[in-house]
Amino acid sequence: MNWNRVLKIIAGLSAMLWAASVPVAAQGVPQPAPSRTARQSSVVDPTVAVRTEAAAWLADLIKINTSNPPGNEQPAATFISRLLQKEGIKAEVVDVAPGRSAVVARLRSSVVPEPSKALLLVAHLDTVPVDKSRWTVDPFGAVIKDGYMYGRGAIDDKGMLAANLAVFINLKRTNAHLNRDVIFLATADEEGSGDASIRTLIAKYWDKFAAGFAINEGGNVFVKKGKVQYIGVQASEKVAANIAVIARGTSGHASQPTKDNAVVHLAAAVAKIGTYTAPVHFTAIVRRYFEGIAPLEDDEISKWIRSMDTTDRGEHAQRVVSDASPLWNSMMRDTVAPTVLSAGVANNVIPAEARGNLNVRLLPGDPIGTVVNDLNKLVNDPAVKLEVQPNAGLAAPPSSLDSDFYNVICRVASREFGGAPALPFQSTWLTDSAQLRLHSVQAYGLVPFPLNDEDLRRMHGDDERIPLVAFDKGVDVLMKIVTEFAVTRY
Ligand SMILES: [Zn+2]
């Protein structure tokens, strides 16, 4: 690490944090204390110094383009391993596929490892791609503007990656006495869930990072009207699958239209599928989530949330709540979203085949066969076939809501975010945690940065950004969670 450079960045960030106080205050996240200029803090408190350095690491990571496809995570893995080596931590870059690597490093609590007690800090190196033309800044520039750092991965998941690094390095620098091994893991191909993903990593290298507990992305600190409304701690996730819709007809000259045109049959089938609504099914976690969120919403919606399980008004209530939020809708039922259409070879040729893709998100345990049957009945067209695609996800058992680690996460996060409740959360999106849960890891998802809807929407979208004060706060909270769970004393 070039310290002149670090100090320059630190000075820049500090100035920027102060300049940004207005928009950041509007988000309801804490302001830096007046004494916390980085130059002072690096002498006074190593924890504060590492937080400020973490923002510089986040910028460095954003500048390494790991858009997936193709991923190309190796340079980011090398960057992290060098950073850890400089701190005196042995880090291993593990090659998962050509050009695609993960990083593993361990801080030991004892000579003989106890994998069932170990804590894994997980984040992924890859990001989704960008449509550069729709960004107002360079997506790989780590541009700082109005109190935000912009860049692909700023939240998902390089923000968490930098936070994990900060926590891990701080444990080492402060010579913390651990009651369990703490393992740093940076994975590849999370966004693609392909051959270079955690599935392969576990199959090939499980012994290098076997653990009983993990913290990963998956849940969020939700900010509403300038305040943290609740902390969603992910303990389960939905399962993804794809179904191909294939319409077949007779190809021919476009000057003489026919009734069995495959494009027409596909379009009609997709239109019907668009109206599909699967029955509601509350998993234990979703039930607890709605119980927790009902008192936080305004009276009207709160009333409907509480009525969802009643016999007389249940169905109507479920409809109102589903319509109020696509997230809530997807938390309580299987969903189907048409995502890709393809047909035709030329403007004047009727094609023999037209295909679409349906992206299905199942509640854990729900069989895809039920959805296929329902859709077949709905489409009701012998010219159209539905085919479940290979590589569907596997349902994992939920993580326990009674474990010590879950309790620590909820207690610390709630305390640090002004008493906002921590609720169990079932994400509608996928994370690496499902694979960990399938290997008996009690994995929990919490991106520790307080974020409002506007910022959360930009993940996977354009102009992804993280408020720098939220980043700083998140690193601090994650540090406290890990300290309470894994550190006996400094
Ligand atoms: Zn992610």
Cα end-to-end span (Å), the chain: 25
Please tell me whether residues 76 and 8 are part of one structural domain.
Answer: yes
Tell me how far the alpha carbon of residue 443 lies from the centroid of ligand 1, in angstroms: 15
Q: Distances in Å between the alpha carbon of 273 and those of 245, 262, 266, 268, 380?
A: 10, 16, 10, 9, 11
Predicted confidence at residue 44, as pLDDT, reads: 52
Tell me how far the alpha carbon of residue 191 lies from the centroid of ligand 1, in angstroms: 7
Predicted confidence at residue 124, as pLDDT, reads: 98
User: Number of structural domains, the chain?
Assistant: 2
Tell me 133's DSSP state.
G
C-alpha to C-alpha distance for 438 and 199, rounded to whole angstroms: 10
Please tell me whether residues 54 and 185 are part of one structural domain.
Answer: yes
C-alpha to C-alpha distance for 305 and 403, rounded to whole angstroms: 28
Tell me how far the alpha carbon of residue 254 lies from the centroid of ligand 1, in angstroms: 45
**Which of 329, 354, 388 is a domain's end point?**
388
Tokens of 421: 């409740």
**Which of 335, 359, 388 is a domain's end point?**
388
Half-sphere exposure of 205 (CA within 13 A, CB side): 21
Q: What is the 3-state secondary structure (H, E, C) of 288-300?
A: HHHHHHHHHCCHH
Tell me how far the alpha carbon of residue 436 lies from the centroid of ligand 1, in angstroms: 15
Q: Hey, is 190 helix, strand or coil? A: coil
Please tell me whether residues 213 and 358 are part of one structural domain.
Answer: no
Predicted confidence at residue 316, as pLDDT, reads: 97
Is residue 147 within 8 Å of residue 16, measured between CB atoms? yes
- Work out the mean pLDDT of the chain and round it to a whole number: 92
Predicted confidence at residue 33, as pLDDT, reads: 39
Tokens of 303: 């009333």
Please tell me whether residues 420 and 313 are part of one structural domain.
Answer: no
pTM above 0.75, yes or no: yes
Q: Are strands 252-253 and 349-350 parallel, antiparallel or unpaired?
A: antiparallel
Is residue 161 within 8 Å of residue 94, measured between CB atoms? no
Instruction: Output the domain CATH number for residue 341.
Output: 3.30.70.360
Please tell me whether residues 383 and 406 are part of one structural domain.
Answer: no
Using a 10 angstrom Cβ sphere, with 0-12 exposed, 13-18 middle and 19 or more buried, the burial of residue 391 is exposed
Mark out the alpha helices in 212-295 (DSSP H runs): 262-273, 284-293
The string of DSSP codes covering 421-465 is: PEEEEEESS--THHHHHTTT-EEEEEEEEEEEHHHHHHTTSSS-E
**Which of 332, 367, 388 is a domain's end point?**
388
Tell me how far the alpha carbon of residue 170 lies from the centroid of ligand 1, in angstroms: 24
Tell me how far the alpha carbon of residue 29 lies from the centroid of ligand 1, in angstroms: 23
Tell me how far the alpha carbon of residue 439 lies from the centroid of ligand 1, in angstroms: 20
C-alpha to C-alpha distance for 24 and 16, rounded to whole angstroms: 11
C-alpha to C-alpha distance for 115 and 222, rounded to whole angstroms: 33
Predicted confidence at residue 391, as pLDDT, reads: 85
Tell me how far the alpha carbon of residue 190 lies from the centroid of ligand 1, in angstroms: 7
C-alpha to C-alpha distance for 1 and 87, rounded to whole angstroms: 10
Tell me how far the alpha carbon of residue 487 lies from the centroid of ligand 1, in angstroms: 27
Tell me how far the alpha carbon of residue 108 lies from the centroid of ligand 1, in angstroms: 27
Tell me how far the alpha carbon of residue 243 lies from the centroid of ligand 1, in angstroms: 23
Tell me how far the alpha carbon of residue 65 lies from the centroid of ligand 1, in angstroms: 15
Predicted confidence at residue 22, as pLDDT, reads: 34
Tell me how far the alpha carbon of residue 287 lies from the centroid of ligand 1, in angstroms: 25
Tell me how far the alpha carbon of residue 451 lies from the centroid of ligand 1, in angstroms: 15
Is residue 456 within 8 Å of residue 220, measured between CB atoms? yes
Identify the residue whose tokens are 């102060």. 18
- Residue-range definition of the domain harbouring residue 294: 240-388
Say whether the peptide bond before residue 69 is cis (omega within 30 degrees of 0).
Answer: yes
Closest CA relative to residue 120, chosen from 57, 198, 64, 204: 198
Please tell me whether residues 14 and 60 are part of one structural domain.
Answer: yes
Which residues lie across from 341 on neighbouring strands?
A: 356
Tell me how far the alpha carbon of residue 490 lies from the centroid of ligand 1, in angstroms: 32
Write out pLDDT tens, residues 409-446. Answer: 999 999 999 999 999 999 999 999 999 999 999 999 99
Tell me how far the alpha carbon of residue 431 lies from the centroid of ligand 1, in angstroms: 7
Give kind and range of the element (H or E) at residue 120: strand 119-124
Tell me how far the alpha carbon of residue 396 lies from the centroid of ligand 1, in angstroms: 18
C-alpha to C-alpha distance for 388 and 212, rounded to whole angstroms: 34
Please tell me whether residues 348 and 434 are part of one structural domain.
Answer: no
Please tell me whether residues 229 and 244 are part of one structural domain.
Answer: no
Tell me how far the alpha carbon of residue 218 lies from the centroid of ligand 1, in angstroms: 7
Please tell me whether residues 199 and 278 are part of one structural domain.
Answer: no
Tell me how far the alpha carbon of residue 43 lies from the centroid of ligand 1, in angstroms: 34
Please tell me whether residues 308 and 434 are part of one structural domain.
Answer: no
Mark out the alpha helices in 20-111 (DSSP H runs): 21-25, 38-44, 46-63, 74-86
Instruction: Output the domain CATH number for residue 183.
Output: 3.40.630.10
Tell me how far the alpha carbon of residue 61 lies from the centroid of ligand 1, in angstroms: 14
Please tell me whether residues 26 and 103 are part of one structural domain.
Answer: yes
Predicted confidence at residue 71, as pLDDT, reads: 97
Predicted confidence at residue 46, as pLDDT, reads: 72
pLDDT tens for the 490 residues of the chain, in order: 444 444 444 444 444 443 333 333 333 444 333 333 443 443 457 778 899 899 999 999 999 999 999 999 999 999 999 999 999 999 999 999 999 999 999 999 998 889 999 999 999 999 999 999 999 999 999 999 999 999 999 999 999 999 999 999 999 999 999 999 999 999 999 999 999 999 999 999 999 999 999 999 999 999 999 999 999 999 999 999 999 999 999 999 999 999 999 999 999 999 999 999 999 999 999 999 999 999 999 999 999 999 999 999 999 999 999 999 999 999 999 999 999 999 999 999 999 999 999 999 999 999 999 999 999 999 999 999 999 999 889 999 999 999 999 999 999 999 999 999 999 999 999 999 999 999 999 999 999 999 999 999 999 999 999 999 999 999 999 999 999 999 997 7
Tell me how far the alpha carbon of residue 256 lies from the centroid of ligand 1, in angstroms: 49
Tell me how far the alpha carbon of residue 335 lies from the centroid of ligand 1, in angstroms: 20
Tell me how far the alpha carbon of residue 185 lies from the centroid of ligand 1, in angstroms: 14
Please tell me whether residues 194 and 265 are part of one structural domain.
Answer: no
Predicted confidence at residue 259, as pLDDT, reads: 96
Give kind and range of the element (H or E) at residue 92: strand 91-97
Tell me how far the alpha carbon of residue 103 lies from the centroid of ligand 1, in angstroms: 16
